[in-house]
Structure 1
Amino acid sequence: MASSSSSWFALLLFVGLACTAANSNVLSAGYYEKTCPNVQGVVRSVMAHRVAGEPRMAPAVLRLFFHDCFVNGCDGSVLLDATPFSASEKDAEPNDSLTGFTVIDEIKSILEHDCPATVSCADVLALASRDAVALLGGPTWAVPLGRKDSRAAADPESTKNALPSPKDNLEELITMFAKHGLDASDMTALSGAHTVGMAKCESYRDRVYGIDNEHYIDPSFADARRQTCPLQEGPSDGKAPFDSQTPMRFDNAYYRDLTAHRGLLSSDQALYGGHGGMQDHLVEMYSTDGEAFARDFANAMVKMGNIPPPMGMPVEVRLHCSKVNY
C-alpha cells in the first residue's frame, strides 16, 4: 500500500498535469462515456430535485450559463469566488443578482465522489442549463462536452463590458453577439431564454415610465409594471417576470409579448418594432411557431456553448467550482 505522502504527491502531480492551455480539446457529446458514464444522469437527477423544490433555480442556472459564456468563453469563470489576489465576476454589476451556485456545487460534489477530478465545472453548467430548459417544458439537445475550467475570473469592469445591457438597442445587441460568433438569428433565438425568469425594477424602469422613448410600449402593460416598480428608487423596488403569461414555462410566449409591444426590457423590445424586415419576421414566426423557436433555440445554445476561452488561457478541471486548484 502506498504511503500517505506518496498518495498526496500523486494527487498534486495529477492536478498539475490537469492544468493545460485553452483550446486544446475538441468538444463531443460522448466525452465522458468511459471516464464518467453517469454524468448526465447525476446532473439530471439533481436538477429535477432542486427545481421541484424551488422552480426559480431553473432560470437561475440558465442565466448562469449565459453569463459564463459571454465572458471569456464557457469556462466556468462565473462560478469563482473572489480571493485576496483576484476579483470575481460575481461582483460585477450585471452579475450581482445571479443565483443557482449551490445547485452547481451540489452536482459537482456528487461527481467528485463518483468520478474524481474528471468532469469540469464548465461542463456541469452546460448540462445543467440544458436540463433547466427541459424541466420547464422546453427542448432538449445533445451537449458537446470536454470544456475545461479557467484558473482566473475576469475583472468586474471587463465582465460588465462583455455582457449585454438591458438598455441595448438592436445594433448594439447584434454587435455584442457577433463578437462571440453568433449572428442576428442566433441572438433572436437565444433571447427567447427570457420566456422564463425575472428582472429587477432598475432594469425596466426607464421603459415602463417612458424614459426610453425609442420603443413603443403597450400602455396597460406599462401601467401594470409600474405597480411594483416606483419611479423613485427605494426599498420597495420589485421584480417582474419577463413573460407575464407563462412565467415559469419555457415556450414562445416571449415573442407574442414582443409583437404586442409588451417586452419588459428595452433590449427585449429592440428585437421587434412592427415595421417589417427580416428581424420582425423572425420574431413573428417564433410567436406563432413554438416548434421552430424550440429547434432554433437548441441549435443556438449548442453554438453558444462552443465559445472557447481565449487562446492560451490556463485551464484545468477544478475540484471545487468556486476556487481554483492549488
Structure 2
Amino acid sequence: MPVTLSIHVGYYSTKCPQAESIVRQVVIDRFSKDKSIAAALLRMHFHDCFVTGCDASILIDSTDDNQSEKEAGPNLTVREYSLIDEIKSKLEAACPNKVSCADIIALATRDAVGLAGGPNYKSHTGRRDGLVSRASDVDLPGPSFTISQSLKAFLARGLTLKDMVALLGGHTVGITHCGFFNDRLSNFQGTGAPDTSMDTSLVNKLKGVCSSSNNPRVDRTTSLDQDTPFVFDNKFYNEIKSKKGVLKIDQNLADDPLSAKWVSNFAANNTIFQEGFVKAILKLGNIQILQGNGGGEVRRNCRVFNK
C-alpha cells in the first residue's frame, strides 16, 4: 500500500477545529507566568527533531526495559514536559485520539516564539508519534563544537549552513548552565587562563554568576543573550560579534569565516534573521516525520506508547 502523505497547514481544521487555539491558550497562560518557556520549547523541539526525526520520542518516559531519550546526557536539562502534558490533556478532552504529541511540540514552540516577539508563522501539522525512544540514539551537537563539526550534523539532516546559523539564533532567548562554559572563564583548554575569544567584562560577570552559590552541587544558569534575554530578536548576533558569546559554539559562529557572513547579515537586520529563522524551523519540523499511513501513532499520553 502506498504511503499517504498528509502533513500540511490546517491539518486539524476538520479533525479537531479547536486544536491550535487550545494549544495557543495554554502557552499564553504559561508564558504570562514564565517567559523562559520560549527557550525551553525551542530546545525541546530541536532535541526531538534531531534524533530520529520530529516524532515526540523525547517525551517518552523510561521503563525498566528501556532507557528513553530524555535520560541521555544532552536531554537532562530539557524541561516543560508538564506543559505538553497539560496541552495534551485538554486536547484529549476536546477531540480524543486526534492530535499527535509531535504536532503539539511544533505548535507550542511556534506560539511561544511569537509571544517572545519573534515571527508568527504557519506550522505544518499531521505528524504522527514515533514508536521508539532510546537514549543511545541521542547524538546532538555539543556546546563546544566547531562550526565544521556542527555543520556536519546539520547537513546530515538536510539543513544548510544558513539554517544552522538561524536556528542557533534561537539562543537569543536561551539559558545555559555554568557547567557548559566554566572552562572558558579560568582554564580554557588547559591554558590556566580564560578563553581569549570571550570579552573580559563578560568573563568577570560570569565568574560572579557561577560562583554565587555556596552549594557546589548547584549548577547556576545565565542567559545566552545578555542584553534582551526574553525577547526573540537579533541582539544575540550583535553580542557574539562583540566577543560576548557565552557558549563556545555560539562564539564560533561569529569567529569562523564559514558562518561569519550569515552572523553579520542577521546582526544587521532583524527582519532578515526572522525570515531565515522561519524557513529553518519549518525545515527542522519536517525532518524524518511519520505521517499518513506511513507508521507511527497518535499517543493518548505523550509520555507512554499506546498499548
Regarding TM over 0.5, the answer is: yes
CA gap of 1:175–1:137, structure 2 versus 1, over 3 A, is same
User: Which 5+ residue runs of structure 2 have no aligned equivalent?
Assistant: none
Deviation at 1:92, TM superposition (A): 0.6
Determine if the alignment matches structure 1 residue 184 to structure 2 residue 164. Answer: no
User: Is residue 259 from structure 1 mapped to residue 259 from structure 2 by the alignment?
Assistant: no
1:88 aligns with 2:78: no
Distance apart, 1:301 and its partner CA: 0.5
With 42-51 and 205-214 compared, the bigger mean Cα shift is at 205-214
Give the structure-1-normalised TM-score. 0.87
Task: Measure the CA separation in 1 of the matches of 2:207 and 2:267.
Answer: 25
Alpha-carbon separation, structure 2, partners of 1:308 and 1:72: 7
Encode CA deviations 1:27-67: one digit per residue, 9 max, x unaligned.
10021111011111111100000111122222111211111
Q: Counterpart of 2:222 in 1: which secondary structure? A: strand
Report the equivalent of 1:320.
301
Structure 1: where are the runs of 5+ without partners? 1-19
Kindly indicate whether the alpha-carbon contact (under 8 Å) linking 1:228 and 1:237 is maintained by their aligned counterparts in 2: no
Task: Decide whether aligned partners of structure 1 residues 24 and 204 sit closer, same or farther in structure 2, where only a CA change above 3 A counts.
Answer: farther
- Contact 1:72 / 1:310 at 8 angstroms: preserved in 2? no
Mapped contact 1:78–1:89 kept (Cα < 8 A): yes
Residue number among 195, 200, 208 corresponding to 1:219 in the alignment: 200
Distance 1:87 1:237, change over 3 A: closer
| Secondary structure of residue in 2 paired with 1:75 | coil
Name the residue aligned to 2:181: 204
- The 3-state SS of whatever aligns with 2:253 is coil
Name the counterpart of 1:271: 253
How far off its partner does 1:151 sit? 1.5
| Within-5 A mapping of 1:284-323 | 284-309=264-289, 314-323=295-304
Matched, 1:246 2:228: yes
Query: What is the rounded CA distance, in whole Å, between the counterparts of 1:51 and 1:291 in structure 2?
Result: 23
Question: 1:165 is aligned with what amino acid?
Answer: G
Kept in 2, the 8 Å contact 1:120–1:318? The answer is yes
Q: What amino acid does structure 1 have at the position aligned with 2:287?
A: I
Aligned to 1:123: 103
Higher radius of gyration, 1 or 2 = 1
Counterpart Cα distance in 2 of 1:127 and 1:229: 34
The correspondence for 1:98, drawn from 78, 81, 87, is 78
- After superposition, the C-alpha distances for 1:112-166 in whole angstroms (9 at most, x for unaligned) are 1111101100001000000110010100111011100012202x2321xx21100
Q: CA deviation at 1:209?
A: 2.5
Q: More deviation in 199-208 or 24-33?
A: 24-33
Contact kept? 1:215, 1:266, Cα under 8 Å: no
Contact 1:70/1:163 (CA < 8 Å) preserved in 2? yes
Query: Hey, what does 2:18 align to over in structure 1?
Result: 38
1:85 Cα deviation from its structure 2 partner: 2.0
> In the TM superposition, what is the alpha-carbon distance from 1:235 to its structure 2 partner?
2.3
8 Å CA contact 1:215–1:269 kept in 2: the answer is: no
CA distance in 1, matches of 2:137, 2:188: 27
Identity of aligned residues (%): 36
Looking at structure 2, the residues matched to 64 and 306 of structure 1 have their Cα atoms a distance apart, in angstroms, of: 15
After superposition, give the CA deviation of every residue in 1:260-295 in whole Å (9 maximum; x if it has no partner).
Answer: 01111011111111x7x4521210111120010011
Provide the residue aligned with 2:210 in structure 1: 229
The 1:157/1:229 distance shift into structure 2, 3 A limit, reads farther
2:34 to 44, 48, 54: 54
Number of positions where the alignment pairs a residue of Structure 1 with one of Structure 2 = 301
Name the TM-score, length of structure 2 as normaliser.
Answer: 0.92
Structure 2 residue corresponding to 1:157, chosen from 125, 133, 136: 136
